[in-house]
Copies of this chain bind each other. A is one copy, B any other.
Amino acid sequence: MKNIKKKSDKKVKKKKTNLQKFIRKSTDKVGLPPGTLVHVGRYKLDKVGIEIFNYNKDSLIEKKIDILNTEEFSVDKYFPTLVNSNLMWVNMEGVHRSDIIRELGKFIDHNMLVLEDILNTTQRAKAEIYDGYIFLVLKMLSYNENNDEVEDEQVSFILGKNFVFSIQEGKEGDVFNPIRDILRKENSVIRKNSSDFLLYFLLDVIIDNYFIIIEKLGEKIEILEDELINKPTSITLNKIYSLRREILFVRKCVWPLREAITAISRDETLLIHKKTEGYFRNIYDHLLQIADTIETLRDMVTVMSEIYMSHLNTKMNEVMKVLTLIGTIFIPLTFIAGVYGMNFEYMPELKSPYGYPVALIGMSFIGLFMLVFFKLKKWI
């Protein structure tokens, strides 16, 4: 069965043109009353993967479960009971099962709006601060080397006093491995600190990946610049435009995130500790830097399309000029030949034995003169 799935997945992916990156089907929900938990998304996996890290300074219990689409899920069955100082990180992959998401509602007073947002993978990055928990949703970007495209995956975070949930849209793989490694080390910085610290680490690793995307885009620009100088074709222009769109896409992910991070770092609940605030400001600084660079990239791409146009014009003009020049030199000569091709009976030149060579020499002379004249005028 998995085989069939994969195939249809591919099809979906294939249809996902550039445009659909921007406006994804969020109309599945239209007509339904608000608060209805419906999955809106591209991926429909055949299971939900759940990782649970139950840790404190001294101990760590790691658990990994796969909930098949046919299985039931209950928080009580799978999640550990948190004792005193213990913290829990739950990392889920797959948001296609609304019943599972509904179960998570137990941790956040069954706040339907939040659960809806988790299920809807077309969210704009935002942070919402509630009593007792913070909800954050953003896009995790990765670079697909196969089709040379930036890909996005939605990740929702719920930060509670003693838990962090990270709920991914569920493409294979994520960027959290460094965090897992740190967690597994006894007495590591995360183990020693509160839950907001874990959230910071998770965000930091996602934002770090934005830098990679930026660099990839930068490399693409460099390659295109080379192409632009050496052998620009109309494909180059298409590439420029598609790159421009990709930059806009990344921009659309980063822009609202800045506000979200500001909201968190200014949070006045006790979830974000004084100490961690500086760290979130640090993330904010990174986002500013990324935003700056995106603007620069955008500007560069704009200039590139201008250069392309001017290059095209210049080249075309050169060709037309040379062609017209050739024509212009021969037209008067042809006229002279035409004159001596007239059939008047009394044309003295025609009788002269020197007529022909003189005509030839004269025509050469005129042609040469025009060449020199055009050269002097810098038209050639």
Contact = CB atoms under 8 A, between A and B. Distances in A.
A342 B289 CA distance: 76
Interface stretch (A68-76, A83-91, A152-160, A346-354): A346-354
A312 to B, nearest CB: 7
B335 A356 contact: no
A216 to B, nearest CB: 10
A173 interface: no
A345 to B, nearest CB: 6
A60 interface: no
Which of A204, A296, A303: most chain B CB closer than 10 A? A296
A29 interface: yes
Interface residues on chain A, size class: 35 or more
A285 interface: yes
| Identical copies in the complex | 5
B338 A124 contact: no
A244 B345 CA distance: 68
A81 interface: no
Q: Is the interface of A mostly helix, strand, loop or mixed?
A: helix
A317 to B, nearest CB: 5
A117 to B, nearest CB: 8
Interface stretch (A5-13, A43-51, A97-105, A205-213): A205-213
A174 interface: no
B309 A312 contact: no
A346 B342 contact: no
B326 A278 contact: no
Given A33-B178, A316-B317, A334-B331, A296 B22 contact: yes
Given A17-B222, A335-B337, A182 B256 contact: no
Nearest to A34: B204
A124 B334 contact: no
A34 B282 contact: yes
A30 B208 contact: yes
11 contacts: A31-B178, A32-B178, A33-B182, A35-B189, A252-B296, A316-B321, A326-B331, A334-B338, A345-B351, A345-B355, A346-B355
5 closest A-B pairs by beta carbon, nearest first, are A337-B338, A340-B342, A344-B356, A341-B341, A346-B353
Interface of A: 17, 19-20, 22-23, 25-27, 29-35, 113, 122-124, 126, 128, 177-179, 182, 189, 200-201, 204-205, 208-209, 211-212, 214-215, 218, 221-222, 225, 234, 237, 241, 244-245, 248, 252, 256, 278-279, 281-282, 285, 288-289, 292-293, 296-297, 299-300, 303, 305-307, 309-310, 312-314, 316-317, 319-321, 323-328, 330-335, 337-347, 349-353, 355-356, 359-360, 363, 377, 379
Given A27-B212, A30-B211, 16 more contacts: A19-B222, A23-B214, A27-B208, A27-B215, A30-B208, A31-B177, A31-B208, A34-B204, A113-B282, A234-B314, A334-B335, A337-B341, A339-B360, A340-B342, A342-B343, A346-B352
